[in-house]
Structure 1
Amino acid sequence: MLDRFGDDERAIEGLPIRLVIALVVGVASLGVMMNMLSGLSGLTVTELDAKPSPDVVGPSEGKVDVAVVDPDGNPVSNATVVVTGGTATLDGVVTENTGEDGEVSLTLDPGLAPNQQEGTLEVSIKPPAGSEYADERENTAILVIEG
């Protein structure tokens, strides 16, 4: 008869296979739960896109129309369009809210540094408050070219 635990080598016989089974069952359960969560529309957001027109301008004051649309191309009203200087310069930040048609007309006066032939103005969108919209991806930049 065995009097000490140190002499018993059978204690770990079934442990590795039980751990593997528990791991497989756990991963499968987690996969099912994540699939259920991703199917809920309340947890998802819709990406907005800005479409400036024209998207190529010269280094002088002019009007640029920006349309804010959802992935299906539907206009989004009450979104705030923000234009800032990128590699081109802009005096301050230009902001304006879209109307019912999802469009806004901005007066921009971009500039280029000496010996700079082109630059960009960055366009971002602040979605309407309380909406399921987001602007996480980069929007179309406005290209400023000399000439």
Structure 2
Amino acid sequence: MKGFQLFRNDEKAMELPINIVVMLVVGMVALATLISIIPTPTKEMSVFIEGTSLEEGSFQPGNSIIVDATTAQNSFAVYVKINATDNDGNPVRNANVVLRGLGGAASNTTDINGVTILTTTGNALVQLDPNQNEGTMDLKILADGFYDYEKNDAVMIIKTR
């Protein structure tokens, strides 16, 4: 009982709970400040495949490329024209655009108009397997201030018989 009375009369014993509360409040304020500094994506991106082609500059509307059986036996280049805008129709500039699939890959950045042309060249050419009549390529676009855009099966390659 005597020890209990000493604790009750000790003023330093009250400092510990007060210090814990103060440290907790300061820690929460610091955490809230750090979280508010982290930039969050604020806009959605609209992406339109303006055209596709097996030859540079001769784009056909749509997202499909038709190849004949002779071309499909070998690796071939694919050209895809992409237009990226925000929901208000403003261009998305300097977005990183990646197209990949069927053994091929292409990457580029959008220009000031939000447009880019992707080309699979060199070691990243597209190829259909001998028994494969069709295949798809996936599209991914990353831009500061926007949610990431991903579309599986964005471009379709179809082999004619």
| TM bucket, shorter chain | 0.5 to 0.7
- 1:94-130: CA deviations, max 9, x gaps? 21011001011111332212211111100110113xx
Number of residue pairs the alignment of both structures matches: 99
CA contact (8 A) 2:139 2:150 kept: no
With a CA cutoff of 8 Å and minimum separation of 6, indicate the structure with the bigger relative contact order: 1
CA contact (8 A) 1:49 1:139 kept: no
Q: Unaligned stretches of 5+ in structure 1?
A: 1-41
Tell me how far apart the structure 2 counterparts of residues 67 and 140 of structure 1 sit (CA, whole Å).
Answer: 17
Identify the residue that residue 45 of structure 2 maps to in structure 1: 48
Matched, 1:79 2:95: yes
Cα distance in 2 for residues equivalent to 1:77 and 1:43: 18
Runs (4+) of structure 1 exceeding 4 A deviation are: none
1:117 counterpart = 2:152: no
Q: Is the 8 A contact 1:80 1:98 kept in 2?
A: yes
Q: TM-score, normalised by structure 2?
A: 0.53
Task: Return the offset for 1:84.
Answer: 1.2
TM-score of the two chains, using structure 1 as the length reference: 0.57
- The one-letter amino acid of 2:155's match is I
Match of 1:69 in 2: 85
Structure (1 or 2) with the greater helix fraction: 2
Kept after mapping to 1: 8 A contact 2:136/2:153: no
RMSD of the TM alignment (CA)? 2.3
Task: Indicate the SS of the match to 1:134.
Answer: coil
Q: Identity of aligned pairs, percent?
A: 29
Alpha-carbon offset, residue 49 of structure 1: 3.0
